Structure 1
């Protein structure tokens, strides 16, 4: 997500006057610090949700008074976070997690015009159409795909076996990847599309292609659509529900 900060996310924040932010999935804290520096300049606040962040959370909390870290799963926390301007969803990259994150955000909106700007990472390969689980036990059994800690490659639906001639080039061998790509309720982009197909809120969705893909979801707003189109030029595709 941090690779999109300078060119995409920060300009949108400034344009829309974003001051209250929820980050799901902080990992090493690179993007977290970018968000905190932005908030410091604009008297904003940041809540970061991650069950196992890999940076010194206590040190960052001491340095930034506008920061709250919550060590938990997003679906256990988001329901109580209402009235925020923007959400950055970059946690567990699977259908169940992303779909239910969006449903909770929708549920928390009393006026659909107040639907926040939502940024979603990994809407392109490899996890657009394939579930990945950092914490498989956190996913209800009825939504969890068969998965293994084996790598993936473009053009291969099946996981790459250790004896495969291309195994050394395979991606993300240390996480649980769904055994097969595609099909119902499989992958981040599938979750977004399923959410948009049933939401009552008129939304626009922009896809930015590099760096595994960034999705930008927001209440339909022609002015903001045009602003984002100019930011991302020919890398953006729009549609509305």
Structure 2
């Protein structure tokens, strides 16, 4: 998610002014650092969730005492223990089951506490994982919700996995693209379809895609947020053009295996 920080995510946060944030999927902390920068500026707090964070958790918590709490665990185990937040950044396990359950838990915790839906930012809502599941640990996904998968690469415009090379060839990718219960965007669309309350989703193409999910009524009186959302909503023509540029970027990366792509957090 960090490629979106300066042009999109930080301006959104500055307009929405969340005081409590949750980050799902910290990995090496590239975006965690950005969120902590925001927390320092706006006197906010961050709860970070990752089963295996690749930074010195104790050192970071000491440096950001009172601002940062890191939870080592799976999002679906940790979220039920956390209080509702004003903003949640979802960038963990990129598959239908996990994302749909994360959204359900976030929604249930908010409604149960009488709080509005938080501003939710979702990474990898575009290609390659919009319509294809990725499993960092397939054993954590119930069999009924787990697509057939292999450790093989993927290619834009090709449903089947590649026999050699391709994008993210060392990861567990669903063997086919599309269909029911497959992919991050599919999970978000299913969540929206099942929600009894009106929610709005803005899709930002490029860098694997960013989704902005929110309850417009929560921000109806926030003119700065509404203006920013209006400016961020791309026309279909511009969205298609950016997707073309994105696929060209990915094709160039695939041709350079030493610079292999992984989901950018």
Count residues with an aligned counterpart: 231
CA distance in 1, matches of 2:50, 2:126: 22
Q: Could you tell me whether the CA contact under 8 Å between 2:21 and 2:86 is conserved in 1?
A: yes
Q: Equivalent residue for 2:45? A: 45
Q: Equivalent residue for 2:243? A: none
Q: Map 1:18-57 to 2 at 5 A.
A: 18-57=18-57
Q: Equivalent residue for 1:102? A: 103
Q: Could you tell me whether the CA contact under 8 Å between 1:147 and 1:178 is conserved in 2?
A: yes
Task: Mark the CA change 1:225 to 1:174 in structure 2 (over 3 Å): closer, same or farther.
Answer: farther
Q: Could you tell me whether the CA contact under 8 Å between 2:95 and 2:184 is conserved in 1?
A: yes
Q: Equivalent residue for 2:61? A: 61
Q: Equivalent residue for 1:77? A: 78
Task: Mark the CA change 1:96 to 1:31 in structure 2 (over 3 Å): closer, same or farther.
Answer: same
Moved more, 105-114 or 58-67: 105-114
Structure 2 length-normalised TM: 0.83
CA distance in 2, matches of 1:232, 1:30: 26
CA distance in 2, matches of 1:8, 1:236: 16
Deviation at 1:145, TM superposition (A): 0.7
Query: Which one of 147, 161, 177 corresponds to residue 159 of structure 1?
Result: 161
Q: Equivalent residue for 1:128? A: 130
Deviation at 1:232, TM superposition (A): 5.3
Hey, which of these two has a bigger chunk of helix by percent? Answer: 2
Task: Mark the CA change 1:210 to 1:100 in structure 2 (over 3 Å): closer, same or farther.
Answer: same
Q: Could you tell me whether the CA contact under 8 Å between 1:112 and 1:201 is conserved in 2?
A: no
CA distance in 1, matches of 2:115, 2:216: 8
Deviation at 1:231, TM superposition (A): 3.9
Which residues of structure 2 form unaligned runs of 5+?
A: 241-265
CA distance in 2, matches of 1:54, 1:87: 20
2:178 matches 1:176? no
Task: Mark the CA change 1:203 to 1:26 in structure 2 (over 3 Å): closer, same or farther.
Answer: same
CA distance in 1, matches of 2:11, 2:114: 23
Task: Mark the CA change 1:108 to 1:236 in structure 2 (over 3 Å): closer, same or farther.
Answer: farther
